[in-house]
Chain A
Amino acid sequence: MSMEMTNGSAPNTMAEARPVETARFVPAVDIYETAEEYVVMAEMPGCDPKGIDVQFENGELSITGRVSPRQVPETGWLAREFGIGDYARTFNVTESIETDKISAEYEHGILTLRLPKVETAKPRKIEVRTK
């Protein structure tokens, strides 16, 4: 962790000295798989729900989120441990997905994507009939 002085008073712990407003962050994700679908949960706190964009093209899933502007002071900082900025991340998806059935939901700062598997990719249970 690096320490930096801003305005000669408030200590600043931001490791990267770039303007906070234009910073882009890679959201942390959890990815789960069930028999029917893949579930991607991305941490994107403070987003404007209208500013969230999800695209799937040529096996590439990309998510971007614009953060809502929020009031932060110019002076009086006691600690600055995180920066605020937009989110962006791209995944390569090699599995077969029903692309037109991908759903996205944003709640409590988490973007949850559901990517249904195509029929042929689903494990199939074969009923064994007995005579």
Chain B
Amino acid sequence: MLDAIERLNWWNQQMNQLWNGALPAPQAAYPALNLWDDGENFHAEAELPGFKIEDIDLAVAGCDLQIRGRRETPSGKDWAIYRQERPSGEFSRTIKFPAEIDADRVQAELKDGVLRVTLPKAPTAKPRKIEVKVLGHKN
């Protein structure tokens, strides 16, 4: 239960960051992210079609993951634009995870426009099972 409340608090913080940063109308942050926690690692997944791995920069510090990237619109000399729905330009998004990340062991993979980042938790951040010793007591 505590876990759920912590997550919700964490989520509210993220949402507040979102709202505060976006005026007048709140805009969806780019890229959209799916984030989860498997106990040992955090996982982040984003759809970044058209990006090559060299177009994307990942930085990890403490609990934060920053994803930055840049995509140029193909600007042909003789191209007339009929329709342009795909976003272009630069983006940057920072996520704060609820625990510290082991930056040295972060792994990222980009396949068919899907970025998957695995972020192992720092040893101190992992939940630890604490043995409770029952001391014999005298009658």
- Pairwise interchain contact A10-B7, C-beta atoms closer than 8 A: yes
- Pairwise interchain contact B112-A78, C-beta atoms closer than 8 A: no
Residues of A near B78 (CB, < 8 A) are 34-35
- Please report B residues at the A interface, Cβ cutoff 8 Å: 3-4, 7-8, 10-11, 14, 26, 28-29, 32-39, 42-43, 45, 47-52, 73-74, 76, 78-86, 97-98, 111-114
Which stretch from A36-44, A55-63, A97-105 is at the chain B interface? A36-44
**Shortest Cβ gap from A2 to chain B (Å):** 12
Is A16 interfacial (CB 8 A cutoff)? Answer: no
- Please report A residues at the B interface, Cβ cutoff 8 Å: 1, 8-11, 28-35, 38-39, 41, 43-47, 49, 68, 70, 72-73, 76-82, 106, 108-110
How far apart sit A51 and B29, CA to CA, in the bound complex (Å)? 30
Can you give 9 A-B contacts (C-beta < 8 A)?
A10-B36, A11-B7, A29-B83, A30-B73, A46-B112, A46-B114, A72-B45, A77-B35, A110-B50
Partner of A33, one of B3, B35, B80: B80
Residues of A near B86 (CB, < 8 A) are 28-30, 41, 43
Q: Which 4 A-B pairs have the closest CB atoms?
A: A109-B113, A45-B113, A109-B49, A31-B82
- Pairwise interchain contact B49-A78, C-beta atoms closer than 8 A: no
Residues of A near B50 (CB, < 8 A) are 41, 43, 108-110
